[in-house]
């Protein structure tokens, strides 16, 4: 049980290099979703990467009540797809379409092979940003790679193409004994004044796997900036990241009251308790036979 989450997102700038850095630790949030959805090892790790990506997308939200959601459809992947949502204040919830993948979870194949089969080589993506007054905008994009496709590729593509930013992204999640051990995300954005040599040097560090290794080891922004040769970072702000969902027992009862009378009568006639699961966070709500009769 998580008593106090250590999840944080830190926004900083490296003035000498004209580079902005965003580092997110989403370990506890990823663990909470993994536990609530009863995810297997592969789904849990992919979901952990998606949680990191959702935290980076949440940096675009600037007022209470705003949300941003990433919907991914994986036509060739065993996971099928996923939906992750980040609300203003970095409250994250979501799920993968498939929670367990028996053929992959029990396999001894290399991780790269398992993730390739879970995700596939292409993805249809939608990013929806919504405001509390009902306004929203949606960005659609497809990503396809001839070799291995990762969640990192999806998030980086969104920042670079639809948003038109010069950015590099690295998502890193690791497991131990079949459960998420750590989950981090790094966004590196280059201002127009940044030198081409700086971009090339940083890109090499992302490509050689050293940035992912540092994230898995829990490196802070100072260590990452030093490794990337960006000079000392100046911290702009730090915000907590948390798992949160707006579901509650009253909403479940309202949902059931909206069912046709015949369906409510059939549930009450069985005289058994029923479990209702929130698809966004996995929380279970148990309704007693008396509560079901009260719905009539």
For 55-112, write each residue's pLDDT tens digit.
Answer: 999 999 999 999 999 999 999 999 999 999 999 999 999 999 999 999 999 988 888 8
Give domain status of residue 2, yes or no.
no
State the residue range of the domain holding 160.
8-243
Q: Are residues 36 and 132 in the same domain?
A: yes
Q: Which residue has the tokens 């915000």?
A: 239
**65 and 153 both lie in a single domain:** yes
Residues 71, 193 within the same domain: yes
Burial of 42 (0-12, 13-18, 19+ CB in 10 A): buried
Specify if 1 maps to a domain: no
Residue 3 lies in a domain: no
Q: How many CB atoms lie within 10 A of CB 100?
A: 15
* Domain membership flag for residue 280: yes
Q: What does the pLDDT read at residue 228?
A: 97
Asked if residue 141 and residue 204 are part of one domain, the reply reads: yes
Determine the length of the chain. 296
pLDDT given at position 3: 54
Question: What pLDDT, on the 0 to 100 scale, is given for residue 1?
Answer: 43
Phi-psi region of 89 (alpha: psi -120 to 50; beta: other; left: phi over 0): left
Are 216 and 273 found together in one domain?
Answer: no
pLDDT tens digits, residue range 20-40? 999 999 999 999 999 999 999
Same domain for 55 and 101, yes or no, is yes
pTM over 0.75: yes
Residue 266: CATH number of its domain: 3.90.1280
Report strand pairing: 91-96 vs 242-243. Answer: parallel
Together in a domain, 174 and 261: no
Q: Say what angle helices 27-36 and 41-57 make with each other, to 10 degrees.
A: 130
CATH of the domain at 110: 3.55.30.10
* 266 and 159 within one domain: no
Is residue 80 in a domain?
yes
Mean pLDDT, to the nearest integer, of 124-136? Answer: 96
Rounded to 5 degrees, what are φ and ψ at 220? -90, 180
Q: Does residue 155 sit in the same domain as residue 238?
A: yes
pLDDT surpasses 50 at 146: yes
pLDDT at residue number 258:
87
More confident residue, 146 or 184: 184
Is the pLDDT score of 179 beyond 90?
yes
State the average pLDDT for the chain.
Answer: 93
Q: State the total domains in the chain.
A: 2
pLDDT band of 233, cuts 50, 70, 90: very high
Q: Is the pLDDT of residue 2 over 50?
A: no
């Amino acid at each position: 049980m998580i008593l106090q989450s250590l999840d944080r997102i830190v926004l900083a700038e490296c003035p000498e290099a004209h580079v902005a850095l965003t580092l997110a630790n989403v370990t506890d949030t990823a663990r909470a979703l993994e536990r609530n959805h009863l995810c297997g090892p592969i789904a849990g790790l992919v979901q952990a990467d998606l949680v990191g990506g959702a935290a980076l997308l949440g940096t675009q939200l600037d007022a209470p009540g705003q949300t941003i959601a990433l919907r991914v459809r994986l036509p060739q992947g065993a996971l099928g797809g996923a939906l992750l949502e980040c609300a203003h204040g970095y409250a994250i919830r979501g799920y993968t379409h498939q929670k367990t993948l028996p053929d992959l979870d029990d396999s001894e194949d290399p991780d790269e092979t398992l993730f390739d089969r879970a995700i596939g080589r292409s993805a249809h993506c939608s990013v929806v940003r919504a405001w509390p007054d009902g306004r929203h905008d949606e960005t659609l994009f497809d990503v396809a790679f001839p070799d291995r496709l990762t969640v990192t590729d999806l998030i980086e593509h969104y920042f670079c193409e639809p948003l038109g930013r010069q950015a590099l992204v690295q998502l890193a999640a690791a497991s131990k004994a079949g459960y998420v051990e750590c989950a981090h995300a790094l966004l590196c954005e280059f201002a127009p004044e940044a030198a081409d040599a700086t971009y090339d040097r940083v890109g090499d560090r992302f490509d050689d796997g050293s940035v992912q290794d540092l994230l898995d080891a829990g490196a802070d922004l100072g260590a990452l900036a030093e490794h990337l040769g960006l000079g000392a970072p100046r911290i702009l702000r730090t915000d907590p990241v948390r798992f949160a969902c707006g579901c509650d027992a009253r909403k479940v009862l309202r949902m059931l009251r909206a069912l046709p009378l015949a369906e409510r009568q059939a549930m009450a006639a069985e005289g058994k308790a029923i479990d209702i699961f929130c698809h966004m966070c996995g929380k279970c709500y148990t309704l007693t036979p008396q509560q079901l009769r009260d719905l009539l």
